[in-house]
A and B are shown apart, each in its own frame.
Chain A
Amino acid sequence: GENVEQHPSTLSVQEGDSAVIKCTYSDSASNYFPWYKQELGKGPQLIIDIRSNVGEKKDQRIAVTLNKTAKHFSLHITETQPEDSAVYFCAASGAGEKLTFGTGTRLTIIP
């Protein structure tokens, strides 16, 4: 089955700087890659997703890049703000298959 590795497990950045979280996946048939943000006591919230026919997608301060050849995808957050502090999860799935999640990255924005 699919295996998703996520790095780093913790990340601290100064407010205003950029944060990058990286994931690799094992199944070359995977074609859907969402990123979720989970705040304390809440459920995961979708922040951005990308499908394998696209190499990059951007939504304001958040962007995701996908390298199908290398089987890795990354989340980029620019101009970080205190409210970006949360746990971020990447995930991958094939067509109609279940989502396999990474182990999460705890992002802390230092004011």
Chain B
Amino acid sequence: DSGVTQTPKHLITATGQRVTLRCSPRSGDLSVYWYQQSLDQGLQFLIQYYNGEERAKGNILERFSAQQFPDLHSELNLSSLELGDSALYFCASSVLGGVITDTQYFGPGTRLTVL
């Protein structure tokens, strides 16, 4: 158990809908990262938040957004869902996420199925 929690475990929804995925980092970790894992794209970095502020952006679609709250938990919002958004979404956390790349610990993931 990495100490990172994600809810829900599974999510089934329809095209065009909007969903919110939630992540709680390990105690003491300030950075939260979101990744998408699909069969054809592997593990793709989406976005990073550090202590409430957006720190880095990867291949995140405009239909997707995220935020990190004062208690450091984070939410990933996916809207106007398409079939191709079906994937595993992982959250990871690290102590810093600043100048030095520190170890990222992954949560168990949320499996999103768009029908």
Contacts and interface: CB of A to CB of B under 8 A. Distances in A.
The A contact surface, by secondary structure, is: loop
B12 to A, nearest CB: 16
Interface in A79-111: 89, 93-104
Interface residues of B, number: 23
List 3 A-B pairs, minimum CB-CB distance, nearest first: A43-B106, A32-B101, A101-B43
B97 A43 contact: no
Interface of B: 2, 4, 33, 42-45, 48, 56, 58, 90, 97-101, 103-109
Interface of A: 31-32, 34, 36, 42-46, 49, 89, 93-104
Contacts of A104: 42-43
B43 A89 contact: yes
Contact of A44 (B45, B90, B98, B99): B90
Contact of B90 (A43, A93, A95, A97): A43
Contacts of B103: 34, 46, 49
B50 to A, nearest CB: 10
